[in-house]
Amino acid sequence: MSIQTVGIIGAGTMGNGIAQACAVAGLKVVMVDIAEAAVQKGLATVAGSLDRLIKKEKITAADKDAALARIQGGTDYELLKQAQIVIEAATENHALKVKILQQVDALLAPEVILASNTSSISITQLAAATSRADRFIGMHFFNPVPMMALVEIIRGLQTSDATHDAVKALALALGKSPITVKNAPGFVVNRILVPMINEAFFVLAEGLATAEDIDAGMKLGCNQPIGPLALADMIGLDVCLAVMEVYLKEYGDSKYRPCPLLREMVAAGRLGRKTGHGVYAY
């Protein structure tokens, strides 16, 4: 299958990042969201990101204009009919994703691939909710999408080889470095990463060190580019909590219990950079 047009559901951080990566690679993009304001915000974010690349002399103004011209935004799922693959990048909520995927599944031609950008939800379960389980796959991008090379390609139990190969080829066409993983809660990277972040919150809650020293220790001692608590603020504390709750439910292992401090901060609305306050103030 030759993918020329990519449909994206969700114009938020991940959705607009995927849109930018696809458009810069020369693909046509259709990005839909439930509200026109969200679509316009997503398009503005892409434009701003491209402006920063111009300042760094990584692209030209003409490259920016060409990329933006390849992105069509809207609120009507009918727009997705022109795509050969549709990537769902909605909020990390199982019921919401199933609702969206079933609506879109009913609209698309049988040969169209459906993918989810989920970071923790079962691809096998999501696939089973559609009529195209063999053409359903996980395509987990990492934030910020335009900068991060990794894409986890997650095969559900039903995913066909042809679907996997087409999506791997798409990832490579975007200039990404894909890895193929089996379906399991958290897949590979987040299975390791988010429990580490959760443990950093336990260390903070126990008063073993300040947030600054915890992050400095992991940066200097483990050569991480950003400390786990600062990374949590970037990801969103609510997202970290949701992922840990999925692990606890799916694995039934107490080692995945979310730190009470993480729960409390989410309850207080301190979600990180997106709210201006998380572990750190922004």
pLDDT of 72-98, one tens digit each?
Answer: 999 999 999 999 999 999 988 889 999
* Domain C-terminal end among 182, 206, 240: 182
Mean local confidence (pLDDT), 193-202: 98
What residues contact residue 276 under an 8 Å CB cut-off, 6+ apart?
A: 282
Please check whether residue 280 lies inside any domain of the structure: no
> Percent of the chain, pLDDT > 70?
100
* Domain C-terminal end among 182, 199, 222: 182
Rounded Cα gap, residues 163 and 30, in angstroms: 20
160 shares its domain with 221: no
Q: Supply the pLDDT for residue 186.
A: 87
Band (175; pLDDT cuts 50, 70, 90): very high
Rounded Cα gap, residues 121 and 117, in angstroms: 9
153 shares its domain with 241: no
199 shares its domain with 216: yes
Mean local confidence (pLDDT), 269-278: 97
Mean local confidence (pLDDT), 94-119: 96
Task: Tell me if 274 sits within 8 A of 236, measured CB to CB.
Answer: yes
Q: Supply the pLDDT for residue 198.
A: 98
16 shares its domain with 35: yes
Rounded Cα gap, residues 31 and 12, in angstroms: 10
Q: Supply the pLDDT for residue 1.
A: 67
- Whether the predicted pLDDT of 246 surpasses 90: no
CATH code (residue 262): 1.10.1040.10
Domain that holds residue 217: 191-274
122 shares its domain with 260: no
Q: What token pair was written down for 128?
A: 């089973």
Of residues 218, 241, 220, 242, the one with CA closest to residue 229: 218
71 shares its domain with 145: yes
Q: Supply the pLDDT for residue 141.
A: 97
What residues contact residue 207 under an 8 Å CB cut-off, 6+ apart?
A: none
Mean local confidence (pLDDT), 49-63: 96
Rounded Cα gap, residues 127 and 155, in angstroms: 10
Q: Supply the pLDDT for residue 2.
A: 83
DSSP calls for 55-124: HTTSS-HHHHHHHHHTEEEES-GGGGGG-SEEEE---S-HHHHHHHHHHHHHHS-TT-EEEE--SSS-HH
- Whether the predicted pLDDT of 17 surpasses 90: yes
Mean local confidence (pLDDT), 98-124: 95
Average pLDDT, the chain: 96
**Number of domain units in the chain:** 2
150 shares its domain with 64: yes
42 shares its domain with 67: yes
Q: Which residues are annotated as catalytic?
A: 119, 140, 152, 190
Q: Supply the pLDDT for residue 143.
A: 87
Q: Is the dihedral of CA 130, 248, 92, 197 positive or negative?
A: negative
Q: Supply the pLDDT for residue 151.
A: 98
Q: Supply the pLDDT for residue 161.
A: 98
* pLDDT tens profile 208-219: 999 999 999 999
Mean local confidence (pLDDT), 45-56: 96
Question: Helix or strand or coil: residue 131?
Answer: coil
Q: Supply the pLDDT for residue 120.
A: 79
